[in-house]
């Protein structure tokens, strides 16, 4: 029970760090275009993150919980604890420099590394891992395409519209699109962490094992509240990097980036594909900026972000492996 309590606390810590370093991506553009204040955007994100957790089922939660086969008992709990600690270490280190990283990929890589420490590559469930690879392509490639295409479409449709009227329209439109982005973040990242929380209760013997992971309402509520609290405390540094330093967006571009990214994420959620909010929103912002002019994008900052994204998988895999060895020694 002591080991289970440690795991649950670490899952809560991971969800908090997700809100601290990942959820701000969902509201970065609505703040940078000055449609909403940071405080109002955080309240909006909190409400729609909660809605996203509750209203989109548990398909992503089940996929996340099945990526590695960990069994039950002490070794399984050590695996989960190691994965959660690797997320916290990696995400906080990146946040220190204002670099957005994917906690989704950190979670999956940490689980993989911890699983390898006990069972080698036999721990991998390759059918579920294929969904992760599909999600990586969707988030990175389709995110950019969606942001670019929606921006171009808006420019074409509103070509003859008075600029003041258009800005008024997209100010209201961005409130809607930011809400959709926060909703899709709750649907994706909220599900991942509530899935791991429920899985810990299963392997710890509190809940029975079954083919489909059971996630009670109280876990959904707990995860949503923790993510929202993290966003309210530490989100502005990531908001500045994503919404201001990387690209200076106008209101219609912010709307386009949010609509494009949230469409990709909600579609993936329905199919049970784990997707990175950071990658989807980040590349959609790049696409929206590039649609107007390639030089509008700070490509030097983009290179740093891409390097951080590329390093996330190997770094968290190694961290998960090392933390599992450490926890196994302690417990």
DSSP state of 98: T
Q: What is the pLDDT of residue 23?
A: 63
DSSP state of 58: S
Question: Rounded to 5 degrees, what are φ and ψ at 158?
Answer: -100, 20
C-alpha separations of 29 from 59, 132, 157, 163, 260 in Å: 28, 26, 21, 19, 13
Does residue 152 register a pLDDT over 90?
yes
Query: Which residue do the tokens 């891409």 mark?
Result: 306
Among 58, 291, 264, 314, smallest CA distance to 143 is for 264
Does residue 164 register a pLDDT over 60?
yes
DSSP state of 186: I
Query: Which residue do the tokens 């479409």 mark?
Result: 153
Exposure class string for 175-194: b at 16+ Cβ within 10 A, else e: bebbbbbbbbbbbbbbbbbb
By mean pLDDT, which of 45-49, 75-79, 192-196, 245-249 is the weakest?
245-249
Per-residue pLDDT reduced to its tens digit, 297-319 = 888 878 877 887 788 888 888 88
Q: At what angle do helices 299-330 and 74-96 cross, to 10 degrees?
A: 150
- Residue 136 structure tokens: 């990586």
Its pTM stands at: 0.80
Per-residue pLDDT band for 238 (boundaries 50, 70, 90) equals low
Dihedral class, residue 276 (left if φ above 0, else alpha if ψ from -120 to 50, else beta): beta
Exposure class string for 225-242: b at 16+ Cβ within 10 A, else e: bbbbbbbbebbbbbbbbb
Using DSSP, how many helices (H) and how many strands (E) does the chain show? 15, 0
- Residue 275 structure tokens: 């997707």
Does residue 187 register a pLDDT over 70?
yes
Rg (C-alpha) for the chain, rounded Å, is 19
């Amino acid at each position: 029970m002591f080991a289970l309590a440690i795991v649950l606390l670490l899952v809560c810590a991971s969800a908090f760090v997700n809100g601290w370093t990942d959820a701000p991506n969902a509201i970065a553009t609505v703040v940078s275009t000055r449609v909403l204040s940071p405080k109002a955007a955080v309240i909006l994100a909190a409400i729609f993150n909660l809605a996203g957790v509750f209203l989109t089922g548990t398909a992503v939660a089940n996929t996340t919980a099945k990526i590695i086969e960990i069994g039950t008992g002490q070794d399984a709990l050590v695996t989960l604890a190691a994965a959660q600690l690797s997320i916290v270490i990696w995400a906080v280190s990146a946040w220190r420099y204002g670099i957005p990283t994917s906690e989704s990929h950190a979670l999956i890589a940490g689980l993989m590394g911890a699983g390898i420490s006990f069972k080698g590559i036999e721990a991998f469930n390759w059918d579920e891992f294929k969904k992760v690879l599909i999600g990586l392509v969707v988030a990175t490639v389709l995110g950019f395409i969606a942001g670019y295409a929606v921006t171009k479409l808006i420019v074409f449709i509103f070509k003859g519209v008075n600029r003041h009227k258009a800005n008024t329209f997209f100010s209201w439109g961005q409130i809607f699109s930011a809400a959709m982005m926060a909703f899709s973040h709750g649907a994706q990242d909220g599900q991942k962490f509530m899935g791991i929380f429920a899985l810990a209760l299963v392997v710890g013997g509190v809940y029975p094992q079954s083919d489909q992971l059971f996630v009670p309402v109280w876990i959904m509520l707990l995860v949503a509240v923790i993510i929202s609290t993290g966003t309210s405390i530490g989100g502005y540094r990531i908001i500045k990097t994503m919404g201001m330093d990387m690209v200076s967006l106008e209101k219609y571009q912010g709307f386009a980036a949010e609509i494009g990214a949230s469409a990709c994420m909600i579609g993936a959620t329905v199919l049970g594909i784990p997707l990175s909010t950071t990658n989807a929103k980040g590349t959609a912002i790049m696409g929206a900026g590039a649609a107007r002019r390639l030089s509008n994008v700070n490509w030097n900052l983009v290179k740093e972000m891409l390097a951080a994204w590329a390093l996330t998988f190997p770094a968290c895999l190694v961290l998960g492996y090392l933390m599992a060895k450490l926890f196994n020694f302690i417990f």
